[in-house]
Structure 1
């Protein structure tokens, strides 16, 4: 799951891996990245002041900054200390899977707090005028889930559509959901309808980490399928479907609903790049980019930042470059 940094592979197992790995030509390798590459569940944005910032699972929402999208430097954490309410959901105040966006003159950072294997979870939100680490003000809970619910309130991603603000979320527990947010507070209304967007046909319904973008007349739902967080044993991959409505239904290119396990395979592990997922998208000077993590089979399964250009075919479906 997009929950925490994976336990690294033991040296004995790594020794059995081939010393060189040839990439499968079907899937592109990540673009070149240098500096601080270690990351999990990245969300990236081009700041209005110039340069890039990436937030991630790990630390108190770990931060990386870059001037050129190639070299990344460690920039500490979004917060100096975990807000006290985080400890309601785990003993260490450990946040997961942030999502950064900009609207109404502020940056908005959504994130989740939970514990492994439970849907006693919450999504929170913070705002900042600059988007930089150390400048965030936390505003508390946006949405929660309990063990009596059929969904899991983690892995948030926000999109504006038709003048309204929506948040997709979800992990296992029957998959991907969505609620409308109050644009003034950034929170879900108490009685907000929880829409169902995607699931798998069988338990444990291994789909999570949604991210929705609009291109042309369609909304595209990207999600991570299968297992995260096991180093080179991870089977994460990224699938996508589309809909003419942000609320769905989302279908793959063969017309199979994502509510029935559909979804076109966009990117999966190949060569040294294992378990590609935890994805988000960002726009940089007219170009769409896919950000994700992978586990490096040539570096003991360390989770690292993957960046690829996202192009759009003539039939409207996305492709990675």
Structure 2
């Protein structure tokens, strides 16, 4: 199990991040353009496809949504309380809270889920829904919180900015077409599939380039605090919510494992897009992903014992 995770999940991720680092060093990539590609094309296509192809019963869907709502709300309260106690700036408060509630449930969580459950369709559906909810959260609260911070709390402007984002519309459209069983013509479906399949590579290459621009600074205590809460407090909350809801079996195990993902790449992409603490965001993503090598292996074992 441990060897499989290291060779089939962790190593490919770090190879892609490494390529991003090397390409940034050699060519000085345009990070703004990379962020735009992720933000306006790759991610919306991936979210649409995950909703359009989703397979889950209404009952399980409702339970997963309830779990995720409680889980994120607790993390949000922890993030806000901690950042206010430490007297962070408005922009840093938004970045710190985002680092706790926006995790890497897609390009990291999906392959971890697939390996841990040997491709079980139920576990895969749960993880796909978590990824979709995470994307919705990222491009609603994540965007609005940063824009609100950048506009000195003028949330009307932030809301207008959010309404210009493509991901929420992609999510709703995917759900509607799925519910109505609307077939897509091949000339529409094929570009969406290509974009969806490129998500992992493009996002991680972008992260590698950002890491090269914002190298790890070991003296930043707020980075350590964020990573500690993300990798230890978040899965503890996930286990607690699963137990309170009385969930058992594969869905419960999948949710516990999903709660232990590192800080999401989208956190760094958002920070770069809006120039809000991109240095902090890139470092939390890097450090949490490195340390997740150790925490996720233990969490997979624990999930099967608890649930």
Q: TM-score, normalised by structure 2?
A: 0.25
- Structure with the bigger percentage of helix: 2
Q: Which has the higher contact order (CA 8 A, sep 6+)?
A: 2
TM-score (norm 1): 0.25
